[in-house]
Every structure is written in C-alpha cells, then in structure tokens.
Structure 1
Amino acid sequence: MAGADGVLGARETQSARLLIIDDDVGMRETIGDVLQAKGYSIDRATRGADGLARLQRAACDAAIVDIKLPDISGVDLLQSLRTACPDLEVIFITGYASLPTALQAINGDAFAYLIKPFEMDHLLATLNKALDRQRLARALRESEERYRLIAEHINDAIVLTDLEGRLVFANGRAEVITGYTAQELTGLLVFNLLTPEGSREAQERLVAAASGGEPAAVLEAPLRRKDGSLVWIEANMASVRSEGRVVGRLGVLRDISERKRAEQKVRLQASALDAAASGIVITDREGTIIWANPGFTSITGYSLDEVTGQTSRVLKSGHHDAAFYQSLWETILAGQTWRGEIINRRKDGALYPEEQTITPVRDEQGEITHFIAIKEDTTERKRLQEHLTQSEKLAAMGQLLASVAHELNNPLSVLTGHAALLKSASDQKVADRAVKMIHAAERCARIVRNFLTLARQRPPERTRVDLNQVVRDALELVAYPIRVDNIELGLELSERLPRLTADGHQLHQVVINLLTNAQQALREAPTPRRIT
C-alpha cells in the first residue's frame, strides 16, 4: 500500500460519497481511512443487506464491494445496488480470484475487479476512473436532456432525414407546422411535403450533399400541411457525418408565412407607389432624398439616381422667399402635415405649379425620422380652370349682350320704321336724311349681331363662307376704336375670291384678332399710320 499518498495528487479534495462493503474489518477500515484522507465521504458496511440499506437511505457515487460476503454474493448484490442507485459505480475486490467470478462481475456491469492484495495506488486510480466515467455519463445525460428540452420547446421544427430523404426524427414543433404526428412523419419522404418546385430543389440539394458537396444551406419553399393548406417555410439544412461520411441531413424549419405575407404587402405597396401618377418622395429628417417614384421623374425630369442624396432644393425656383420655406419646415418638424402650392423648377429649367402634401414619419419612440411628400403638377388643371373661367366670362358676356341687343333692337326697329316713312316724304332733303337714318340703324343692328357672334359659345360649324363679307363684318366691329387712335383703314378686297368651306365665326374672330393686334402695334408708331 506504499505510495498511496502520491496517487493523483491533483485530487486533494473529493466531494464524492463512497460506500465500502467488506466483512474484513482490517481491509474495510484501511480502505476507508485512505479514501477519507483523500477527501472522500465514507460509509461502511459489513454485510450486503446492511450496505443496501445504507445506500437506500443516502445515495453514493461509488461502492467498493467484496465479492464474498457473509449473507450474499457481491455479484448477486450488484443488481440490487444498481436498482437503489442507478448511476452507482461498483468496484469488486476479492481474495478468492477465479476467472468465472471475474467474468460474472464484469458482465454484471461492474466497473472493475481487483484481487487482494492490491496496491492502494491501483485502487485510487481505478476509483478515479470510475468516478470520471460517472461524471461523464451524468454530463451526457444532462446534455441529452438539455438538447431534448431544446428540441421539444424551440419555436422551430427540427427534423432529421436519411440520404433517401426519409424522416427519421421530428420534434413537436414539426408536428405543429406540418399537422402530422411524429409517428406519421417518421419514414415519410420529406419531398412529399413540398410543392413540385420545392421538391425538385430539395432533391437536388440532397443528391449534392450525399456526393460530398456543399449545397446552399437555406431553402425557402411552400410546405403542404396534412389538411392541404400551404405554409411557407425556411429550412436551414446541414449534413450529418459519421466517420467522415455523410449519413443524413439535419434541418431546422421555421414557419415564415407571416413574413411572406408582409413581403407581399410591401411589394404591393411598392407597386402602387411606382404606378402612382403623383410624384412621391421620401426624405430623411434633414430633407435628403432617399427614394422617389417614377411619377416624380415624370413631373420633374430628374431620375432617382440624380436626386438620391440631394435635398429638395434641387427643385427650388426662387419664386418663394425664405419665410415661406421657414414656415413649411416649422410645420413638419412640429409633427404636422403641410399642404400648399409651390412653384418649382424642372430639370429643363421650366417653372411649374405643384400642389404638395408633406407628412412626417415617426419611429417607435415617436421621434420624426423621415418625411413623405406627395406632389401633383397642376399646370394642366390650372389651364383648364383658366379656360373654364374664360368660357364662363364669355357666357356671361353673351347673356349681357343678348340682353343689350334685345333692348337696342326694339328702339332700332322703331327708328327704322319711322325712317322708312320719312323716306317717302315729298321733301327730298327729308327723304335723304331718312335714308341716312336707315343706314345708321342697320349699321347699329349689324354691330349688335357681331357682338353676339363674338360672345356666343357654339361648336365648330363648317359652311360656305364669303371671306370678303367676313372681313367687312369684322372691320365694322372694330373700325371706331381704330379711327379714335388716328389710324387710317384701307379696305382692298378682291371680288374674284371664291367662297370657302370654313367656320365663319372662327374666321370672324381671327380677323378681329389681327386687326386688334395691328391697332396695338401702331399706337406707338409715328403718323401717318395705316392698316390695309
């Protein structure tokens, strides 16, 4: 027993509890004293029944048992000891060595079989190995239990397949995702759970992995549940190797249906933004442009690449003063939506009116991080509004002129009637004046009719038109103000002009515009001034 103090000096303090069962008092006490000196907690028994009772009262880590006991064979006692303490390590000692007994002890799952007398170093070394195996076994059980708990409680499905793609393991989450029980999944080809496209891709990857390749780890595909419904899964796959050879595939599956729905919603929203006729711009808090839709390009002429990283000042026209922009920024930085009209400048330098709405975007903490601006070019709308306003004015003028014409036509008719009576008077001077009165009244009537024609809203009408008469009618309408400006009018018409097929009213308006423009151009010219 010499040298016992030198065995495994690193193990000065032991926490293991040991049971020594031996009817030899000297051996029992000696072993107990040595082990106790090494820091072990020691319990002793002289008989098998006594040792079993002590073990049942307090579990031990290892037992040193004499095979030949007064009441029971140590080999027969082994099973009872293991029942009382399943992870107990047992070392048999005996002074009556025989091969059958040794084989019986080892087959009974004893850790070791020592023959008396033995070196205490040998016993200590054997004991330490037994306790190391016990700690390893306990650690393995704890590790297995941890992994089992993880596998069963993780929010992802864990599956294991062989090289044919048959499922050999599936955890509880796999049952939830697929709708099948673990028993139903075992032996099922994983390809049968996927759509045809996903199945083909999964088979190609399995073949590549079985051949020693490294296929892409992540697969996204629809999975058909037991009830026929589809769920999107993301599968992270890895090869399982044994002795350097691929023997299967381990997969961690996650239900990504919600993410796919969110992605689809984002795609729809992006498509809607891209298809919008209005310009849409997203900027950061400082006003730097980070995204713009095609509608913005259509309005401004700038592409997304040209404006990304720039501020909205790229569109500044100089039409608004600093106070205007200060008010705008104060509004949106206060978290309020700004609405208004801005005159901006396109890429080609042209100015255009724009109705704009700017809305702040907040993060989870309520801080403003971005702004979204919706822009609408109102050029065409303003043109239509102006046209409508002009049309309404002309309609009102037409109504006014119709009313005036009604009021003038009645007295003109009376005047013409009396002038006709005077025309037949015996006094030639009176008759001549009556003719002049008739001509003047008729001229007034024509002027009234021309005003009505000018103001009347009517659709285009193509008829046979005498251009000379159109010129005469237009000239009669504007002759007076032209003469007031001391401009001489000369009328030189060809009587051989053919009749035209045209809109007489529009031609009448064209001639009036030409005469009016000529009158305005000659006002500043020196005399004599003449329009021919």
Structure 2
Amino acid sequence: MNQKESILIVDDDESTCRSLRLIFGKKGYETEIAGTAQEALEKIKKRSFNVTLIDIRLPDMEGTVLLGKLKKVHPEMVCIVITGYASIENTIMAIKLGSNGYFVKPLVMEEVTYRLEDALDKQRLERKLKESEKKYRTLYESSKDGIVFSDMEGNLLDANQAFLDMLGYKIEEIRRLSYYDLTPKKWHKITTDLIKDQTMVRGYSKEYEKEYIKKDGTTLPITIRSWLVKDNQQKPVGTWAIVRDITERKQAEEKLLKKQYYLTKAQEMGLIGTWELDIQKNILIWTDENYKIFGVPLGTEMNYELFLNCIHPDDRDYVNEKWSAGLNHEPYDIEHRLIVNDKVKWVREKADIEFDKEGTPIMAIGFTQDITERKKAEEQIKDSEKRLKIL
C-alpha cells in the first residue's frame, strides 16, 4: 500500500469519525475529518484525497449533492456513501452520481476496511493503466517510425502521425483503406504469404522490404514488420505493424552502386585491378578486373601461393623476395611478368602493408596494372634507338 494514500471522512457524527480515523490510521492511511459539506469542499480545494466517505445526511447539504459536486471535479476519486438506513432510492441516486459503494450504520469495521482496500486496489490499477496508456500513447505519437493497426481483413483502423505524414493521408482517409490499397500489386502475394506463413503461425513476421503507394500516387520504399493481436479468448483480431521509410537508405545504396559501377569501368579502362590480402589468414580478395588481368576465372578463391603460381616462372623468386622485403617494412612497388593463355603479360603491382602495434604484418591493400602495351612501346623505342646508333 502507498503510504501517501489519503482518506477524507465527511460526517457530523464525532464517534463514527473517531472510530474510522483510528482504524485507517493503523492501516497507514492519512485521514482528515470534515463535519460539514462546506468544510469538505474547502479541504478538497487545498489538497486531493484518494477516498472520500460521505454521510448521506449532513447539516448543510445532502450527501448525494456533495457526492455529485466531488465527482464533477474529481471523477477518479473513490467516493463511498455512509447512511443510517438502507434506501433503494438513495442507493440508486448515489450509484448514478458515481458512488463506488455505500455502508449502512452501525458500521462493521472489518467490512469497511475490506471494501475500502478493494476500492483502492481498483483505483491503483486504473491509475497504472492510465499511466501505461499515456506512456504508450506518447511513444505511439512520438515515434519516427510509422505504426499502423489493421483488422484481420486488412482494413486500416488506426495509425500514428508518422505513418500519416509518410503517406500524405489524414486519419479519416486512412480508415477508408486497407493495406492492399496502399500496396502495389507486385507485392500483394508476398504480403499475403508473409502474414499467412509467419504472422499467423508464430505471432510476428520478419522485417522485410516492400513499397507503399502514397496519396499522390508515387511509391515509397519501406521496411515493415507485423505482430498479431489476439483478444481475451486468444482469437486473432488484427495486426500491428511498424513501418520505416527507407528512401534515404535506398538513395545511398543507389549512389554506392553507381560509384562501384564507375570504379569498375575506370579499372577496366585503365586496366587496373585492386586486391586485398589478409596476411594472417592468407585470404586474397580480387576485384573482377584483377581476375581478368591474371586470366583466372571470376570468383576463384585465392591466396598468396595461388597468386605466385600465376607469375612467370622466371619472375617468381623476384616477386617473392620483394614481397618478403615488404613484410619487413620495405616498399612493395614492382613490375613482373605473367603467363596468360600462353602469352606473356607485364604488370605493375603496388601495395600498402598494415602492421599491428608489435610490427606484425596483418593486412595489405594494393593494385595491379596491366602495362603490357607500355612495355611493348618501350621495346619498340629501344629497337629504334639501336637502329639509329647503327646508322
């Protein structure tokens, strides 16, 4: 029990007031007494009470009139009427005015205590429920993600402001639609299957991507995840869904794909491939252009030894020596030959090697450039110079 819970006793019978105050005090309640309705109203102006016990007959006002006044101002207050005689008319009137019950004098204190605590328990539960609903409503309305509720036929019944803003609708417009109205036809079967196979089976769906149609007719990329809602008899009555606008993410992905495309094209045009070697795990990752330069099928798993096997036999020791020097902090920037389809190809390789705090090499990132045409041109220049010297 909350020690701050308080009770106001409104009765001009001093004996009754003393008895009630003594009992309630032992239970830990704060108790105040008012001998008249006016005194009770003055006290309630100054502070709030959890419970008010009201004698049906007061010197200055009928208890039912006071009850009506209190319930108008404090509808959440527990009000219990005390009467010296049981009257059906008074009981009906008290209930209509919002009384939470009544006691007949002479009071049975055990009954008073039991019913009072029962009324307070209900009040506490109602207060917690209201607080919970307030927190839920605050979360619901302040969420940046859209939240929407639909019945089992897919009709939209409620949505938060984020969902409405996302699609450009007002709440009364949304309530005339179903989620199929918002979903492009190409997504209908996927949506139906996910609800059937996931939401209905395990009570929720995985988060998945789809599109919604906005009020202006444009499509909006979203992610959505739904939860099944059941009534007290465990019968499905609808679904809650959290909807997230992923327009910015999709735009970023599109930009990244374009950058990757342009990088790939640049590498193709420049005959440059890039690579990355996890030195500790001996895992070598090549770009597509690197595979093309070495004449290795795309997607082939590579490591350092397989790389060496691609090098011209006469250059392998040289390359391995330079790589070993690179692992000891020497620059790695070399030119060597490959044998690709029984033809000699010249490449330049350069790498930056990363070391940990102890100086152990852990990662290398580099590029390979096909310089065959440059080498041919250099040989032609050398031949021309030789002929000139002879002349």
Specify the TM-score bucket, using the shorter chain as the normaliser: 0.7 to 0.9
Q: How far did residue 324 of structure 1 move?
A: 6.9
Task: From the superposition, tell whether residues 236 and 320 of structure 1 become closer, same or farther in structure 2 (CA, over 3 Å).
Answer: closer
Q: Does 1:181 align with 2:174?
A: no
Q: How far did residue 43 of structure 1 move?
A: 1.0
Q: Which residue of 1 aligns with 2:249?
A: 259
* Deviation sequence 1:352-379 (CA, Å, 0-9, x none): 5321243579xxxxxx986432212323
Q: Which residue of 1 aligns with 2:58?
A: 69
Task: From the superposition, tell whether residues 128 and 286 of structure 1 become closer, same or farther in structure 2 (CA, over 3 Å).
Answer: same
Task: From the superposition, tell whether residues 214 and 358 of structure 1 become closer, same or farther in structure 2 (CA, over 3 Å).
Answer: same
Q: Within 2, Cα distance between the matches of 1:95 and 1:115?
A: 6
Q: Provide the alpha-carbon RMSD of the alignment.
A: 3.5
8 Å Cα contact 2:199-2:205 kept in structure 1 = no
Q: Which residue of 1 aligns with 2:283?
A: 289
* Deviation sequence 1:270-320 (CA, Å, 0-9, x none): 556666443321234758435212332333355544315879667671115
**SS class of match (2:242):** strand
* Correspondence for 2:183 among 165, 183, 194: 194
- 1:192 maps to a residue whose letter is D
- 2:252 maps to a residue whose letter is A
Q: What percent identity do the matched residue pairs reach?
A: 26
- 2:4 maps to a residue whose letter is S
Which structure is richer in relative contact order (CA contacts within 8 A, separation 6 or more)?
A: 2
- 1:299 maps to a residue whose letter is I
Q: How far did residue 145 of structure 1 move?
A: 0.7
8 Å Cα contact 1:281-1:372 kept in structure 2 = yes
8 Å Cα contact 1:89-1:134 kept in structure 2 = yes
Larger mean Cα displacement after TM superposition, 69-78 or 285-294: 285-294
* Correspondence for 2:135 among 140, 146, 166: 146
**SS class of match (1:330):** coil
**SS class of match (2:16):** helix
**SS class of match (2:318):** coil
Q: Does 1:298 align with 2:292?
A: yes
Q: Which residue of 2 aligns with 1:118?
A: 107
Q: Does 1:358 align with 2:358?
A: no
Q: Within 2, Cα distance between the matches of 1:222 and 1:318?
A: 57
8 Å Cα contact 1:212-1:246 kept in structure 2 = no
Larger mean Cα displacement after TM superposition, 186-195 or 250-259: 186-195
Task: From the superposition, tell whether residues 320 and 282 of structure 1 become closer, same or farther in structure 2 (CA, over 3 Å).
Answer: closer
Task: From the superposition, tell whether residues 350 and 123 of structure 1 become closer, same or farther in structure 2 (CA, over 3 Å).
Answer: farther
Q: Does 1:43 align with 2:60?
A: no
Q: How far did residue 227 of structure 1 move?
A: 3.1
**SS class of match (2:157):** strand
* Deviation sequence 1:136-187 (CA, Å, 0-9, x none): 1111111111111111111211011122322211111112211223333222
Q: Which residue of 1 aligns with 2:212?
A: 223
8 Å Cα contact 1:60-1:85 kept in structure 2 = no
* Deviation sequence 1:356-410 (CA, Å, 0-9, x none): 243579xxxxxx986432212323442343235435655x479x4xxxxxxxxxx
Q: Does 1:57 align with 2:51?
A: no
TM-score, normalising length: structure 1: 0.62
Q: Which residue of 2 aligns with 1:103?
A: 92
Q: Which residue of 2 aligns with 1:32?
A: 21
8 Å Cα contact 1:166-1:186 kept in structure 2 = yes
Q: Within 1, Cα distance between the matches of 2:48 and 2:248?
A: 52
8 Å Cα contact 2:204-2:227 kept in structure 1 = no
Q: How far did residue 120 of structure 1 move?
A: 1.3
* Deviation sequence 1:49-103 (CA, Å, 0-9, x none): 2112211211111111112222222222222112332321112221111223223
Question: Structure 1 unaligned runs (5+)?
Answer: 1-10, 333-337, 362-367, 401-532
Q: Does 1:372 align with 2:362?
A: no
8 Å Cα contact 1:192-1:199 kept in structure 2 = no
TM-score, normalising length: structure 2: 0.82
CA radius of gyration, larger in: 1
**SS class of match (1:306):** coil
Aligned length: 376
Q: Which residue of 2 aligns with 1:510?
A: none
* Correspondence for 1:307 among 302, 307, 311: 302
* Correspondence for 1:248 among 238, 261, 270: 238
**SS class of match (1:158):** strand
Q: Within 1, Cα distance between the matches of 2:321 and 2:389?
A: 42
Q: Within 1, Cα distance between the matches of 2:174 and 2:289?
A: 52
Q: Within 2, Cα distance between the matches of 1:360 and 1:174?
A: 50
Q: Within 2, Cα distance between the matches of 1:290 and 1:266?
A: 23
- 1:28 maps to a residue whose letter is C
- 2:234 maps to a residue whose letter is G
Q: How far did residue 238 of structure 1 move?
A: 1.3
Q: Within 1, Cα distance between the matches of 2:170 and 2:65?
A: 44
Q: Within 2, Cα distance between the matches of 1:180 and 1:376?
A: 56
Q: How does 1:392-411 map to 2 (within 5 A)?
A: 393-394=386-387, 396=388, 400=391
8 Å Cα contact 1:208-1:214 kept in structure 2 = no
* Deviation sequence 1:498-522 (CA, Å, 0-9, x none): xxxxxxxxxxxxxxxxxxxxxxxxx
Task: From the superposition, tell whether residues 100 and 182 of structure 1 become closer, same or farther in structure 2 (CA, over 3 Å).
Answer: same
Larger mean Cα displacement after TM superposition, 153-162 or 206-215: 206-215
Report the structure, 1 or 2, having the larger strand content. 2
Q: Within 2, Cα distance between the matches of 1:325 and 1:348?
A: 28
Q: Within 2, Cα distance between the matches of 1:208 and 1:279?
A: 45
Q: Within 2, Cα distance between the matches of 1:391 and 1:225?
A: 71
8 Å Cα contact 2:204-2:226 kept in structure 1 = no
8 Å Cα contact 1:341-1:353 kept in structure 2 = no
Q: Within 2, Cα distance between the matches of 1:232 and 1:353?
A: 48
* Deviation sequence 1:207-258 (CA, Å, 0-9, x none): 6689768684333112232333332110111111112111111110011122
